[in-house]
């Protein structure tokens, strides 16, 4: 692959040390880019809470369709070093200090912790990608059938 990109393999190894390290860097950059994009959505006061929920789910599904390995990368990073991941991604700042979080907190009227709802959104959008090999077997789904199902989940 380095040859196809016109990059000297020895130089690539010198800078990144391993394929895994390069993969980690690329994935982290993609996650950060996505989070910066979603930050604007979460803080956009023109959107209602319902619109934001729909747009967040749609954005996550679009990202995961483009990068289906991302959930497993994030899960392995959460297990291996959650502090590093939280710091690098700045999730606490992006999420808990967002207009979205305020709207959610107001809608729940202090009857429930907003994190429960956020966990549900993330779970409902991410789990199908994590479990896709099993879901394809159970549902006898081809890739295009799975893609169609995931598109339906946006609604």
Q: What is the pLDDT of residues 70-95, one digit of tens each?
A: 888 778 878 887 887 777 777 788 88
- pLDDT the model gives residue 13: 66
Closest by CA to 92, choosing from 146, 35, 49, is 35
- The mean pLDDT of 105-122, rounded to a whole number, is 90
Residue bearing the bigger pLDDT, 3 or 92: 92
Closest by CA to 94, choosing from 118, 61, 73, is 118
* Residue 78: both structure tokens together: 């959460």
Please state, as a whole number, how many other Cβ atoms lie within 10 Å of the Cβ of residue 110.
Answer: 8
- pLDDT the model gives residue 146: 95
- pTM (2 d.p.): 0.75
Percent of the chain with pLDDT over 90: 38
Measured between alpha carbons, how far is 70 from 125 in angstroms, rounded to an integer? 13
Three-state SS string across 23-79, please?
HHHHHHHHHHHHHHHHHHHHCCCCCCHHHHHHHHHHHHHHHHHHCCCHHHHHHHHHH
- The mean pLDDT of 105-133, rounded to a whole number, is 91
User: Would you place residue 136 in the very low, low, confident or very high pLDDT band (cuts 50, 70, 90)?
Assistant: very high
């Amino acid at each position: 692959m380095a040859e196809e990109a016109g990059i000297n393999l020895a130089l690539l190894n010198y800078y990144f040390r391993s394929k895994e390290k390069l993969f980690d860097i690329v994935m982290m950059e993609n996650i950060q880019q996505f989070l910066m994009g979603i930050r604007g959505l979460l803080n956009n006061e023109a959107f209602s809470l319902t619109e934001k929920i729909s747009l967040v789910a749609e954005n996550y599904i679009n990202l995961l369709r483009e990068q289906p390995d991302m959930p497993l990368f994030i899960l392995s990073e959460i297990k291996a070093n959650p502090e590093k991941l939280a710091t690098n991604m700045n999730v606490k700042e992006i999420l808990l200090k967002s207009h979205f979080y305020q709207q959610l907190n107001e809608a729940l009227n202090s009857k429930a912790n907003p994190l429960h709802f956020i966990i549900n959104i993330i779970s409902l959008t991410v789990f199908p990608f994590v479990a896709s090999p099993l879901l394809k077997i159970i549902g006898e789904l081809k890739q295009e059938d799975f893609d169609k199902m995931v598109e339906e989940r946006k609604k």
